[in-house]
Structure formats: structure tokens, C-alpha cells
Structure 1
Amino acid sequence: MSAATGPTAKGRQRRTALLDAAEHVLTGAGGSELTLRAVAEEAGVRLGHLQYYFPTRAALLSALLDRILASSLERVTALTVAPAHGSGREALLDAILSDHDDPRLVRLFTEVWALAAHDEEAASAVRAFYGQYVTHVAAFVRDQAPGLSAAEAQHRAEVFVMLMEGAALFRSGVTGRRTAATDARLREAALTLLGGTVHPA
């Protein structure tokens, strides 16, 4: 078993500290500066120490995304067990929209998307991240609307994730500005995707 996946508390603490440093470099300096050497310097360790846990830049980025996903899914999972369908949808949407108020998190994902546009290894990690995100949302949608087919739930989940990620750029102020009117329309569309009634066009 490698040190990166070992069960020791010390190994987990060191790995967490290295991922904290990687996140700081990514959100502070940008994806172009996310090198193993830069992360090692940020963490105050030798390059070889970092490579013991993350041999390549791709491995480091993948682990960073995995951590973000695990944290997000842990929170979302707690919301999806709500017995009342309507409150469950509202709570899930509120939690996701609240991420748009976190400048650090928005910067992190903006940099990750930029990396994925130019780096196939990064793109692969990002696709895996969103694949899991969509799968989780699709399961939530089917719980909210049991009559939906698996394919329809999957399609709704994909559009929901697209909508939320695009909304993050506008609502955070990166590419636009939020208004009460657009937020109302966004909520209406998002809640429908999460299991509301689809009205014929």
C-alpha cells in the first residue's frame, strides 16, 4: 500500500497539508503556476517529499478534485435524505447556490476549468468529477420524482449541473451580476429539473 493511500494518521495529515498547499497555489496564482515545485515550496517541503505522495501533477490535481467532490457530496448527501420532497429540493438548491458566494471556491473551479481546456489529464479528472456529480444528482431526481425514467433523470441532472456551473460565473460576479429577477427564474428552472412537473412546450 502506498503512502498516499495508507491508513496512518500521520500520512493522512501530510497528504491533507499538501492538498491545502495545492489549493492555495491554484486559487492564488492560477493553474499555470500549479507545478509540483510550486506546491512543494508553498507546503515548505522538499520536492521529493511531495512526489512520494503525488508522483505527477495530474495525480495531484485528481486528488484535489476528489477532495472537493467528497466534501460536496457529503453535504449534499445529508440534504437528499430529507423525507419531504419539496423541502429536499429547496435545501439542495440553496446549498449549491450558496457556493456562489464563496470567492475562493469560485476561483478554484474557474482555474480548474481553464486547466481542463488545455490539459487532457486535467480534463479527464474534471470529467470524472462531473460524472460523479451528475450521477449523484440523477439519483436525487429519481427519488424526488419516482415516475421518471432513469434516462430522463440523467438528462435532468446533466442540465441541472450545467445550469449551476454557468450560474456560478454570473452570480459570483466573474462574468455578470445577479439580480432578484434572474435568481427567481434560475430557481424556478432548477427546481423543475430536480423533480418538478415538466410542462409541455
Structure 2
Amino acid sequence: MSAAAGPTSKGRQRRTELLDAAERVLTGSGGAELTLRAVAEEAGVRLGHLQYYFPARSALLSALLDRILASSLERVTALTVAHTHGTDREALLDAVLSDHDDPRLVLLFTEAWALAAHDEEAAAAVRAFYDQYVTHVAAFLRDQAPDLSEAEARHRAEVFVMLMEGSALFRSGLTGRRTAGTDARLRSTALALLGGAVHR
């Protein structure tokens, strides 16, 4: 019986452990070094054992990206359902910016972007994630300001997501450094995007 046919609790645990090992290889060495052999060595298992769960590198990559993106999307979903969680725009912004303080998370996304640049399957997964991210933020905007058109909410949401993702590289220290002045301007710009006023 294959692992995909009906994994047991032990099988799910082993799959999680293998994905943990793959994540360590990805963040420690980069996507180019994410090979089945490297992951098997990191996990301390035989290559054949890893291939029982992930027969090819593409299957491993797909599962790893799904896990990274699904976890982040869960956070976005919880934050943006304003009528359920009472989230306001300050709380939403604080939560999104707090992700920039997690070096592991920023590195995971940096590697996911790098993988997407060279692998169409990875690119499709990343695009689908950001489409859902934008959709949730747009819904949050319309919940906060029902006078916003769907198109305007979508445009603002797209720019907000662009701003947050790009600023992660600077605020995390990967490509720049944060300062009080730039953080203040970032916050005011992001809050304006999340605000309810329609400027014509």
C-alpha cells in the first residue's frame, strides 16, 4: 500500500518529520541543495524510506510549499475575518508586521520565491497563495468600509500585500535595515490603504 492510499497516524507523523527535515535543508542551504538525498541525510533515514513518502523531488517540493503557504494563509484568514475576530486595521497591520520578526518565516518565503522563479509548479502554488491572500484582505476592506467597490478593494489589497511582502526583506535585515522613520512611514502608508475613505 502506498503512503498516499491511506496514511496511518504513524505515517502522518513520519511525513511531518520528513517535511521538517526538508524545511531545515531549505532554510539552511537553499533550494538548489534541496535534494532527496540531502533531506534523507538530514532526517537520518535511508533514501528509499524518504521515497516511499515522496517518490520524486517535485513531490517533496509540492508538499513543502503547500505546508508553508497553508500555514501562512491560515493566519491571514483568521486575521481578516473582521466580523468574527473583531480585527481592526491596526491589529491586522501589527500582526502582519510581526511576521517580519520571524527570521525563519522570512527565509522560508524568500526560498519559496526563489523556487518559484525556476519551477512553474512552485510558481503556480505561490501565485495561488497570493491570490487568496489578496482576496482575504479585499474582503476585510469591504467589511470595514462597505462603500468601497470590489475593484477598489482589490486594488488596495494588492498594493497592501505588495508593500508588506517587499518590506519584509528590508525589515528582516535580509536586504536592508529598519529604522524608526521608515517604519513610521510604512505604517502610515499601510493604514491609508486599509482605511475606508474613497479618494476620487
Going from structure 1 to structure 2, the CA distance change for 1:187 and 1:11 (only over 3 Å counts) comes to: same
Native 8 Å contact 2:79 2:85 kept in 1: no
Q: Which residue of 1 aligns with 2:8?
A: 8
Distance 1:19 1:66 in 2: 11
Amino acid at match of 2:10: K
1:134 has 2:103 as partner: no
Going from structure 1 to structure 2, the CA distance change for 1:84 and 1:7 (only over 3 Å counts) comes to: closer
The one-character-per-residue Cα deviations of 1:148-174 (angstroms, maximum 9, x if unpaired) are 222222222221111111000111111
Q: How many corresponding residue pairs?
A: 200
CA positional deviation for 1:24: 0.3
1:44 has 2:27 as partner: no
CA positional deviation for 1:8: 2.8
Select between 132-141 and 176-185 the one with higher mean Cα deviation. 132-141
CA positional deviation for 1:74: 2.7
Distance 1:136 1:25 in 2: 31
Q: Which residue of 1 aligns with 2:28?
A: 28
* SS class of match (1:174): coil
Q: Which residue of 1 aligns with 2:79?
A: 79
Runs of 4+ in structure 1 over 4 Å off: 82-87
Task: Give me the identity figure in percent.
Answer: 86
Amino acid at match of 2:32: S
Distance 1:47 1:161 in 2: 39
Distance 1:122 1:82 in 2: 31
CA positional deviation for 1:25: 0.3
Structure 2 unmatched ranges of 5 or more: none
Amino acid at match of 1:113: W
Native 8 Å contact 1:26 1:34 kept in 2: yes
Native 8 Å contact 2:81 2:140 kept in 1: no
Q: Which residue of 1 aligns with 2:175?
A: 175
TM-score (norm 1): 0.86
The one-character-per-residue Cα deviations of 1:74-94 (angstroms, maximum 9, x if unpaired) are 333333344499952211211
Q: Which residue of 2 aligns with 1:108?
A: 108
Select between 130-139 and 17-26 the one with higher mean Cα deviation. 130-139
Select between 21-30 and 70-79 the one with higher mean Cα deviation. 70-79
Distance 2:48 2:58 in 1: 16
CA positional deviation for 1:57: 2.2
Going from structure 1 to structure 2, the CA distance change for 1:55 and 1:179 (only over 3 Å counts) comes to: same
Select between 76-85 and 141-150 the one with higher mean Cα deviation. 76-85
Amino acid at match of 1:52: Y
The one-character-per-residue Cα deviations of 1:80-115 (angstroms, maximum 9, x if unpaired) are 344499952211211111111111111111122122
Q: Which residue of 2 aligns with 1:156?
A: 156
TM-score (norm 2): 0.87
